[in-house]
A and B are shown apart, each in its own frame.
Chain A
Amino acid sequence: EDQVTQSPEALRLQEGESSSLNCSYTVSGLRGLFWYRQDPGKGPEFLFTLYSAGEEKEKERLKATLTKKESFLHITAPKPEDSATYLCAREGGSQGNLIFGKGTKLSVKP
């Protein structure tokens, strides 16, 4: 069965301590890999879309990269306001049918 697996489940960082979140997927012919941020009590907020291996996208302290089997979300010098759950998803059988991982809950302490 096609899956999206995220690791770690939870990550605690000190402010300024850079790290990476992992998203692995098991499907051939990836049509799109998506990263979302979700704050408690809110809906997911779109961050990035990646379509092909080697592609990279950046936004402030976040950089997303894609290989043939996994994607990484790199967080450089994080701040407490980066604390959230980060969700990874790939496009499934039909348009907009995104298959999400369970997310990585990131906590950044000052």
Chain B
Amino acid sequence: GAGVSQSPRYKVAKRGQDVALRCDPISGHVSLFWYQQALGQGPEFLTYFQNEAQLDKSGLPSDRFFAERPEGSVSTLKIQRTQQEDSAVYLCASSLGQEAVPLHFGNGTRLTVT
């Protein structure tokens, strides 16, 4: 596909469950980012990969959040022991080179924790 693809589109989890969110960046894009967007807010940075290296994870809100990109392409954001405050849209973005902008966003995964 031409754009960033995220799956699933929607995820409902019971509090305490683990979830895994997938991101397929645009083919050949070196840089990959995860953002979290709460309702009515702008996206907030979570973490950044350049190829398979995680260069910045300063935005991850707790050690329950973990992201990986083992082969420098597909990335997974994992949230362990989900809490209600984790409910949000999780956006993935990629960019062509080491120059990170402009970012090209996917349509996100809406996570609802009940």
Contact = CB atoms under 8 A, between A and B. Distances in A.
A32 B44 contact: no
A97 B56 contact: yes
B40 interface: yes
B27 to A, nearest CB: 17
Contact of B42 (A32, A41, A94, A100): A100
Contacts, number: 72
A76 B59 CA distance: 37
Interface string B80-114: 00000000000101010011111111111000000
Contacts of A100: 42-44
Interface of B: 4, 31, 33, 40-45, 48, 55-56, 58-59, 91, 93, 95, 98-108
B107 A46 contact: no
15 contacts: A34-B101, A43-B106, A49-B102, A94-B55, A94-B56, A94-B58, A95-B31, A95-B48, A96-B95, A96-B100, A98-B103, A100-B44, A101-B42, A102-B40, A102-B41
A75 interface: no
Interface string A83-108: 00001010111111111111100000
Interface string A44-60: 11100100000000000
Contacts of A46: 102-104
Given A4-B42, A87-B42, A95-B31, 15 more contacts: A41-B107, A43-B93, A43-B106, A43-B107, A43-B108, A92-B45, A93-B58, A94-B58, A95-B48, A95-B101, A96-B33, A97-B45, A97-B48, A98-B101, A102-B42
Nearest 7 A/B pairs, CB to CB: A100-B42, A43-B105, A96-B100, A95-B100, A46-B102, A94-B56, A97-B45
